[in-house]
Amino acid sequence: MPASGAVTRSTLRQQIADALRDEVIAGRLQPGREFTVKQIAEQYGVSATPVREALFDLSAQGLLESDQHRGFRVYQFTVADYRALVEARTLVMDAVIRDGFRDQSPSAARQLKYRDALVSLHRRAEEAARAARGGDLDILIGYDLRFWRELGALVGNTYISDFLHRLRVQAWVFAVPYLRGDANVRDWLWKGHADLVAAVALRDRDALCTVIGDYNGHAMTWADQLAAGAPPHPGRGPQPPAADGRAGPTRPGSA
């Protein structure tokens, strides 16, 4: 269950949803894990109403499944789900790249906003790459999600940005149980954040397509390895269950 601790009365619904989402993304609430509204309410020392609302919010985001008889369960994404997530974000990102740099003479105000955003993105890219090189999943996930969130804000369409963010959260939820405890994880995590920022800064569509193609291709290659059931490398940690409940192969990869 999630770590215990008091939750303040303000915005309880959002605080509980955020705390549980972090637990699911980090893999501390494993896929298939079941719990009830009562258990979470007792864990945080709050009433059932904000907990129920938070759990339904996470269900709407595709992270939980609800069962009126058994409570809630952490959604267990399959390899097919993961491939579909990557395919969906590929299609959307291709469209964004194709249409995102049509304005070659932006206003001075827009140029200033763009430069400020790139400064922040550059910092996020360095932090994410550093965490990936060190194999620190807990740090990487946070920086990676913030990096893509800020990059998505440059599109100027919150619906697209929110959709892509949801896909990446779900991809991390799938990937983390496989990556956790992998002795070779740092060799396989995607580290192209800085290259992506450089392409965006130059407004270079071809370079951007190349980096994004590498990002999505990296994910699909990992999905192929999982689907093939390749044996794990020596020294791996516990393997997450396969769809039929048996121990599944642990393979490196990146969301």
pLDDT reported for residue 214 = 94
- 69 vs 245, residue with greater confidence: 69
For 71, the token pair is 């409570």
Considering the entire predicted model, what is its pTM?
A: 0.80
pLDDT-derived band at 147 (thresholds 50, 70, 90) equals very high
pLDDT reported for residue 217 = 92
Q: Give the count of beta carbons closer than 10 Å to the beta carbon of residue 234.
A: 7
pLDDT-derived band at 251 (thresholds 50, 70, 90) equals very low
Average pLDDT for 212-226: 89
Q: Is the dihedral of CA 157, 149, 180, 226 positive or negative?
A: positive
- Alpha carbon distance 130, 139 (integer Å): 9
Q: What's the mean pLDDT when you consider all of the chain?
A: 82
Average pLDDT for 91-98: 86
Average pLDDT for 42-62: 93
